[in-house]
Amino acid sequence: MSYKWQRDDYHISTDVNQLDVGVVHQFLASSYWAKDLPLEVLQRSLKNSLIFGLYKENEQIGLARVITDYATFAYIADVFVLAPYRRQGLGKWLIETIVSHPELQGLRRWLLATKDAHEFYRQFGFTELNNPARFMEKWNPNIYQHNRAE
């Protein structure tokens, strides 16, 4: 089941068939967090996530995806709004829509990672890790560059 939220000429949709994967790939592959992201990896990640596409009329202007079990945990990833559409409250609307999504209520833990948007996410209740010593990671920040060279 897909959901849609409307605001003036803009809408957010969880319908993956509406995605403009080319726009999403172009943005993410040049971002600091997904530099050189292969198209095949993006397609697999979209297929296995709850997608929130942001559109002006039918033009893709932003995206966020949620990796979740729909019961206890959600991770918000790949959040972006294209530059010409920033500073209009659309990113805020996108995150508000995600955290209020009916299928994501009652989760014990939400996570996300950000380099520079801490203050933005605080307004939605996100804080630094309460107990960072409990968290571990296996991180390969250059995975896409390695895969490209092979």
How confident is residue 149, by pLDDT bands cut at 50, 70 and 90? very low
Total of domains in the chain: 1
Asked if the model's pLDDT at residue 147 lies above 60, the reply is no
Q: What is the pTM of this model?
A: 0.92
Q: What pLDDT, on a 0 to 100 scale, did the predictor assign at position 143?
A: 85
Its domain, for residue 79, covers 4-149
**Residues 81 and 54 sit within 8 Å (Cβ to Cβ):** yes
Terminal-to-terminal C-alpha distance of the chain: 39
Contact present, 86 and 98 (Cβ < 8 Å): no
What pLDDT does 145 receive? 80
Is residue 73 within 8 A of residue 107, CB to CB? The reply is yes
Q: Residue 107 maps to which CATH number?
A: 3.40.630.30
Task: List CB contacts of 89: < 8 A, sequence separation 6 or more.
Answer: none
Q: Closest Cα partner for 67 from 110, 97, 35?
A: 110
Residues 13-33: pLDDT tens digits? Answer: 999 999 999 999 999 999 999
Q: How sure is the predictor about 150, in pLDDT bands with cuts at 50, 70 and 90? A: very low
